[in-house]
Amino acid sequence: MATPAVPLSLLLLFAILSNTFADPDLLQDTCVADLSSGVTINGFVCKPSNNVTANDFFFDGLKNPGQIISPLGSVVTPANVLNITGLNTLGVSLARVDFAPGGVNPPHTHPRATEIIFVLEGELEVGFITTANVLISRTIMVGEVFTFPKGLVHFQINNGAGNAAILAALNSQLPGTQAIAVTLFAASPPVPDNVLAKAFQIGTMEVDNIKSGLASKY
């Protein structure tokens, strides 16, 4: 039987559309995560639909500022599928980040999501670095919005005199975070010193200094 001719442009369009979603598209109305199931799939298995309630879609954990205890002067409060089980398969989540004056949310990436932030309070210098190593950066004020493209390294710092806070929306139920400094210098088991020394063109003593500095704080 002859294969029906599908224009290449149509195939390309489907390929592009199917990649528009950061997480796979859903196959039913809801799939509230059963976090206690031992079965691992791409996401979480659904709990029985006759056991679904409004509370599976509710979370009040972003109401108040998070408690800043980190030496970085910032705290991230996630609201992802681990906090709102109803987000399973929906491809979306939120986070709130609170900053003391001078506080920084250090360079990090979300491997599974683009992020868009809204400034709740204060002002921040924000930026991301492209794969061509160009820094795209500016100051944003309360009520303003900025975007960090999927996978790119980005940061926020509160250079203002008062506290600052942002609300972040991400197009993944579980965006994942890799903070560059911690990922490289506080991994377990550790990334070998000679790998980091060559990568950063420094001595292994300096590598050890950075590792022990981070280890004492995380």
Ligand X SMILES: *[C@@H]1O[C@H](CO)[C@@H](O)[C@H](O)[C@H]1NC(C)=O
Site residues (vs ligand X, CB under 6 A): 47-48, 51, 61, 77-78, 82-83
Bridge-partner residues for 166, per DSSP?
97, 119
Minimum CB separation from ligand X for residue 168, in Å? 14
64 carries a ligand binding annotation:
no
Which residues have a Cβ under 8 Å from the Cβ of 213 and sit 6 or more positions away? none
Bridge-partner residues for 145, per DSSP?
118
Please tell me the distance from the alpha carbon of residue 186 to that of residue 61, in angstroms, as a whole number.
Answer: 28
Picking from 162, 127, 131, the residue whose alpha carbon sits closest to that of residue 146 is 127
Tell me whether residue 128 is exposed, middle or buried, using C-beta atoms within 10 angstroms of its C-beta: 0 to 12, 13 to 18, 19 or more: buried
Tokens 């491809």 sit on residue? 91
Q: Which is nearer to ligand X, 32 or 157 (CB)?
A: 32
108 carries a ligand binding annotation:
yes
115 carries a ligand binding annotation:
yes
Minimum CB separation from ligand X for residue 26, in Å? 20
Q: Which is nearer to ligand X, 166 or 196 (CB)?
A: 166
Q: Which is nearer to ligand X, 30 or 83 (CB)?
A: 83
Minimum CB separation from ligand X for residue 34, in Å? 7
> Residue ranges for the binding site?
105, 108, 110, 115, 154
- Please give the annotated binding residues for oxalate, written as ranges: 105, 110, 115
